């Protein structure tokens, strides 16, 4: 049994990392009051950019290219999210419609660009990040084999960003202002906070993080950009955000939960002890749980109160 667990947990963590960072991106956006259903598209932009940059620069930069690719992915996600911010914050359009447009545009645009720039919709990278044992830490009994063996460096980066985000959101004035804009923008405005600016920042951070998530997908478990990148990870991240009740640690828990369910579902075919388990339950798990969570939590609305509403200073 222990053998199975040490096999599953590191892989589950690898799958969780991009999910978590995309969900965290969604958290910034929604906390600022903008629903971001376009996470999937922003992730795709990041995935495409990282694959393109890495495949073009790997010859000169070697392994550094992978980090350059990640940065480029975050940057591209951030830039692309300005579209969403412009439409939903400045133009006060329906945030769901604008987010959907981002998804549609991204899926078409990236495949088109991939074809016209490289001649194929599949951009392969020769090497991404490699799972390694963390020195010293992987020797700790119990925790070592679970969390520090066969780990990607990106997982560590993601968890650092989560801790940092939690600190920023709950212990710095910036976080308070951002959250205020998502709860009661009129009140925030009356206290001199530039709501539009805060919302732009929220959306752009979500773009940066979702783009980074896409880059992580490419450099860890996917290895190539293809239309298959749009497999719904962004929507799963939204589910994790809701299930995690728009709270960084809740999102961590939800993402881990989903990542673990997915990995157990995949791995169950490999181990005698798990073969009897019904696969379909694990595979549908995240979605069923999210539905149930929505039903249970919708009454005492855990989400930011003003999320989804364009800010209208004239409205009270």
Footprint of another protein (CB under 8 A):
7, 11, 14-15, 58, 62, 83, 86-87, 90-91, 101, 104-105, 108-109, 111-112, 115-116, 120-122, 124, 126-132, 150, 221-224, 226-228, 231, 262-263, 265-267, 269-271, 279
User: How near is the Cβ of 269 to another protein at its closest, in Å?
Assistant: 5
Place of tokens 């991106």: 25
Which residue lies nearer to another protein by CB, 12 or 178? 12
For another protein, which is the closer residue by CB, 126 or 187?
126
- How many CB atoms within 10 Å of residue 143? 11
CB neighbour class for 76 (10 Å; exposed up to 12, middle 13-18, buried from 19)? buried
For another protein, the closer CB: 210 or 265: 265
Nearer to another protein, 125 or 241 (CB): 125
Structural tokens at position 109: 């645009």
Rank residues 103 and 165 by Cβ distance to another protein and give the closer one.
103
Distance CA(310)–CA(107), nearest Å, equals 26
Residue 304 C-beta: closest distance to another protein, Å: 26
Smallest distance, another protein to C-beta of residue 89, A? 12
Q: How far is the CB of 90 from another protein (least distance, A)?
A: 7
| Buried-state track 117-134, b at ≥16 Cβ within 10 A, e below 16 | ebeebebebeebbebeeb
Q: Considering the complex, what minimum distance in angstroms separates the CB of residue 122 from another protein?
A: 6
The CA-atom distances, in angstroms, between 23 and each of 144, 158, 194, 245 are 26, 11, 25, 11
Q: How far apart are the first and last CA of the chain?
A: 58
């Amino acid at each position: 049994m222990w053998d199975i667990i040490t096999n599953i947990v590191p892989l589950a963590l690898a799958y969780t990392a991009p999910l978590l960072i995309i969900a965290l991106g969604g958290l910034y956006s929604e906390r600022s009051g903008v629903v971001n259903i376009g996470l999937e598209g922003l992730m795709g932009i990041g995935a495409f950019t990282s694959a393109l940059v890495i495949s073009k620069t790997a010859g000169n930069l070697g392994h550094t290219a992978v980090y350059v690719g990640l940065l480029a992915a975050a940057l591209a996600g951030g830039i692309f999210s300005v579209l969403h911010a412009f439409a939903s914050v400045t133009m006060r359009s329906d945030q769901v419609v604008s987010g959907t447009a981002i998804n549609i545009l991204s899926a078409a645009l990236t495949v088109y660009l991939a074809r016209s720039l490289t001649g194929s919709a599949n951009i392969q990278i020769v090497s991404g990040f490699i799972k390694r044992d963390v020195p010293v830490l992987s020797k700790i009994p119990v925790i070592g084999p679970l969390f520090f063996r066969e780990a990607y460096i990106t997982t560590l980066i993601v968890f650092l960003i989560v801790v940092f985000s939690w600190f920023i959101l709950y212990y710095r004035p910036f976080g308070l202002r951002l959250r205020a804009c998502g709860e009661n923008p009129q009140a925030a405005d009356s206290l001199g906070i530039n709501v539009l600016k805060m919302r732009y920042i929220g959306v752009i951070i979500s773009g940066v993080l979702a783009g980074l998530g896409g880059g992580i997908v490419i450099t860890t478990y996917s290895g190539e950009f293809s239309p298959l990148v749009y497999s719904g990870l962004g929507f799963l991240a939204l589910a994790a955000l809701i299930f995690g009740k728009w709270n960084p640690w809740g999102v961590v828990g939800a993402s881990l939960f989903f990542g673990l369910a997915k990995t157990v579902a995949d791995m169950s075919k490999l181990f005698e002890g798990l073969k009897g388990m019904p696969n379909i339950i694990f595979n549908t798990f995240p979605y069923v749980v999210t539905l149930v969570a929505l039903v249970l939590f919708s009454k005492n609305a855990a989400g930011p109160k003003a999320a989804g509403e364009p800010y209208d200073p004239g409205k009270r």
